[in-house]
Structure 1
Amino acid sequence: MGAPVEELRALLPGEPGAQREVLRDAVGWLVAHVDQPQVLAARCAELGPVVAQLGVAPQRLENLAVLFVDMLRANPPGVVVRRDQEEAWATTGRLVSRWMADGAAAGAHEPASWSATVVRHERRRADAAVVAVRTYLPYPCLPGQLAVVESSRLPGRWRRCWVGNVPAGDNVVELHVVPHRADPAGAELVERTGVGDVLRLRPAVGVPAVDPGATRPLLVVAARDAVAPVRALLGALRAAGDRRAVTVFWPAAVERDLYRLADLAPEGTVVIRDRFAAGDEDWTRHDAFAAGDPATVAGTLPRIEAAGVPADRVRTAVDGPGDA
């Protein structure tokens, strides 16, 4: 199996069983729609920009035909695939890859988008919800970045949403939404979105919370409604076995109001449920990450710099009102 096909395999969940499930779903959809070339072409064209966003060059997509035939050959023992069936699937694969390549080329003029099905919807307060969605292809997103989301009921209204996890092999993305005033897109996601609804995601925006190569202790300052990127950051550090010292300031009066951070934090993380103030602590050796609405972050930055953290070691994540 050549390197191009391995690159395509890398787009699928890493665990072999999960890969088989994704391939089975993909081929099942192709079989169900193979007699509807217009539908098939349209959906494949939508996948093209996403595949390009994930770093697969359009010319590599021609190897998709090989991937389909390879999957057919992996049938259980005793199931014989005829030569004409192999040839038919190779032809289908070449058509699919061509349509995807055309979509990838068109994507140079429009951002890629991921189709995402809601698999869980939890109201955390009357005005807050966690909307978990599953994308078909992996959604690249680092801690501190925000997803750009559209509901089918409000076409064209794209909204930035906090991401509370780092999407893993199951392709589930946790969108944490707290609507602002005059925020119909946010209200739609919290109040009227349910399991089974389909959303669209554009590429994540914003700067990652930390420099991947840094090892300095980390100071994290989050507004009360900006705990989601902190959860994503702490979960990623814990998964990576990162042992740097982390101190989190989060002014939630009662932790159960929103979420628990201790369940995700690496060992040794200190969570302080209070506003950050320069105080007597020495933060000069730390990197810093601040998250919240624009006004809160703007008010926090001078305090972080006054505490001794250089401006070039401070990163921010800002959730603004209204649409993206």
Structure 2
Amino acid sequence: MISRLRASFSSIALTERGPTRLTTLFFSSLFAEHPDFRVLFPPALDKLGPRVFQALKFVIDNLDDEERVMGFLAQLGRDHRKYGVDERHYSAAAGSLLEAVQGSFTQAIWTPSLTTAWTEFIDLMLDTMATAAAEDDLPATWGATVVDHERRLDDLAIVRLETDSPIPYGAGQYLSVQVPQRPRMWRYLSAAIPSNPAGQIEFHVRRVSGGWVSPAMVNETQVGDRWLLGSPLGGLQVDRDSGRDVLMIGSGTGIAPLRAQVMEMAMRAHNPRVHLFVGGKYPCDLYDIETLWQISLSNPWLTVVPVSEEDENPWWHTAPVPEPPPGLHRRLLGKPGRVVAEFGSWADRQIQVSGSPSMIKTTVYALQRGGTPLNLIRHDPLI
């Protein structure tokens, strides 16, 4: 069954408009049969469609790893409670998704065996999500108040909040976030600090040109604003029992989940060695490098390596480039993936990559070319 699913899904994924066609057919079928469902979704579906496709891709790519897939689907089910989704919605989605997949093929290619394989797969996927949602006794959402909004760069802000009650997320996880300026438009953000009993949480947000939500987070957020946070998702974590040291590669605000993990590790007496490569286009994009240097100075297991594509800042950024404290690694030049791969194979490490989708793709490719097995590399599918 797995080989049939992967082969058929690849034929959609590799077609120029295949992913867009699949998600468009899915939403069209769902809303045609159940027009009342439309209010559960944001006005614009341009961000949601790619996430639906990426979630499907992640599950199909990892079907051999049952624990990882089931954990991801359970998290996704718990997260969907924020929409008010119930059993009726899952049942409707199953039919619409099968219709969308079938509609992405020509009639000559689609076969009864594919119908069986996809029906069983969709039922398993949605049943797992529905069961996890039904069994979860945590809140569907948490309210939080903005207590600080720091504009670190013109297009980047650090937002600190206090939640009404502590959120039990793991360092390295991300949460869906809704801001008052953009109701019903949820976005995923990684927590940049570990969870704590006081309910304090920090997000690093970069403004996306043409985006709906990130400009509001960066430009319009005010102290006192009320945000809504969904259930924790993601599986980035350090396996302390594996006996392997750790390689972390982060770019831009992608350092947030890696930062949270090394902060949590700094609270423990014994840790594996961690090499943390922090990348950006310009030196100023390494906006939190001094915090990471300070952690490294008091934790000899942590090595921080700054990386930038350009040696100097753009002319409009006039602040001086920070210099590393004595004994710490100086900044290297190049794209993060290429720089890391120049050190050779990292086949003896547990590896995490975090950043934009394009950065993750090119970094994973560079690591593979350098001899690092793909199964050792972890990155989150939706963030």
Q: What is the CA-CA distance between 1:206 and the residue it aligns to?
A: 1.9
Structure 2 match to 1:263: 294
1:272 matched to 2:301? The reply is: no
> CA-to-partner distance for each residue in 1:281-312, whole Å, 9 max, x for gaps?
44221110000111110111122233343322
**Could you tell me whether the CA contact under 8 Å between 1:141 and 1:204 is conserved in 2?**
yes
Structure 2 counterpart SS, 1:174: strand
1:228 and 2:228 aligned: no
In the alignment, is the contact (CA less than 8 A) between 1:144 and 1:317 conserved in 2? no
Relative contact order, higher structure (CA 8 A, sep 6+): 1
Specify the alignment match of 1:34 in structure 2.
Answer: none
Q: Secondary structure at the match of 2:337?
A: coil
CA contact (8 A) 2:278 2:286 kept: no
Equivalent-residue separation in structure 2 for 1:201 and 1:122 (angstroms):
20
Structure 1's 255 and 142: CA in aligned 2 closer, same or farther, altered over 3 A?
farther
**Matches of 1:214 and 1:180 in 2, distance apart?**
37
Whether 2:203 is the aligned partner of 1:175: answer yes
**Corresponding residue for residue 20 of structure 1:** none
- Aligned ranges 1:97-136 → 2 under 5 Å: 112-136=140-164
Does the Cα contact within 8 Å between 1:247 and 1:270 map onto a contact in 2? yes
Who is 1:303 aligned against? 366
Residue among 357, 368, 378 paired with 1:294: 357
> CA contact under 8 A between 2:240 and 2:271: conserved in structure 1?
no
Q: Distance in 2 between matches of 1:318 and 1:126?
A: 28
Query: Structure 2: any 5+ residue segments left out of the alignment?
Result: 1-77, 79-132, 308-335
Is structure 2 residue 232 aligned with structure 1 residue 204? Answer: yes
Report SS of the residue matched to 2:210. Answer: coil
**2:169 pairs with 1:138:** no
Per-residue CA distance 1:49-86 (angstroms, 9 max, x = gap)? xxxx8xxxxxxxxxxxxxxxxxxxxxxxxxxxxxxxxx
Mapped pair 1:237 → 2:268: no
Moved more, 287-296 or 214-223: 214-223
CA contact (8 A) 2:252 2:285 kept: no
Residues 187 and 213, structure 2, Cα contact 8 Å, conserved in 1: yes
Paired residues, what number?
217
- Distance of 1:244 and 1:212 partners within structure 2: 7
Report deviation, 1:225.
3.2
What one-letter code is carried by the residue in structure 2 that aligns with 1:309?
T
CA contact (8 A) 1:293 1:318 kept: no
Q: Matched residues in 2 for 1:178 and 1:242: separation? A: 34
Unpaired runs of 5+ residues, structure 1, are 1-52, 54-104
Change (3 A) 1:243 1:210: closer
RMSD of the alignment, in Å?
A: 2.7
Q: Map of 1:1-324 to 2, 5 A cutoff?
A: 112-211=140-239, 213-252=241-280, 253-254=282-283, 257-259=286-288, 260=290, 261-265=292-296, 266-274=299-307, 275-277=336-338, 278-317=341-380
Say if 1:123 and 1:245 are closer, same or farther in 2 by CA, change over 3 A. same
Residue identity (%) = 25
Tell me the TM-score normalized by structure 1: 0.60
CA separation in 2, counterparts of 1:256 and 1:292? 12
Q: Which runs of 4+ in 1 moved over 6 A?
A: 105-111
C-alpha deviation, 1:126, in angstroms = 0.8
Q: 1:150, CA displacement in angstroms? A: 0.5
Report the CA distance shift for 1:280/1:134 in structure 2 as closer, same or farther (over 3 A): closer
Write the distance in 2 (CA, Å) between the matches of 1:107 and 1:186. Answer: 33
Give the match for residue 24 of structure 2.
none
Letter in 1 for 2:276: V
**Deviation by residue 1:94-135 (Cα, 9 ceiling, x = unmatched):** xxxxxxxxxxx9897997100001111111111111111111
SS at match of 1:141: coil
Query: Post-superposition shift, 1:256?
Result: 8.0
Letter of the aligned partner of 1:264 in structure 2?
I
Q: Is the 8 A contact 1:164 1:229 kept in 2?
A: yes
The alignment partner of 1:116 has SS state of strand
1:117–1:237: structure 2 CA closer, same or farther, 3 Å change rule? same
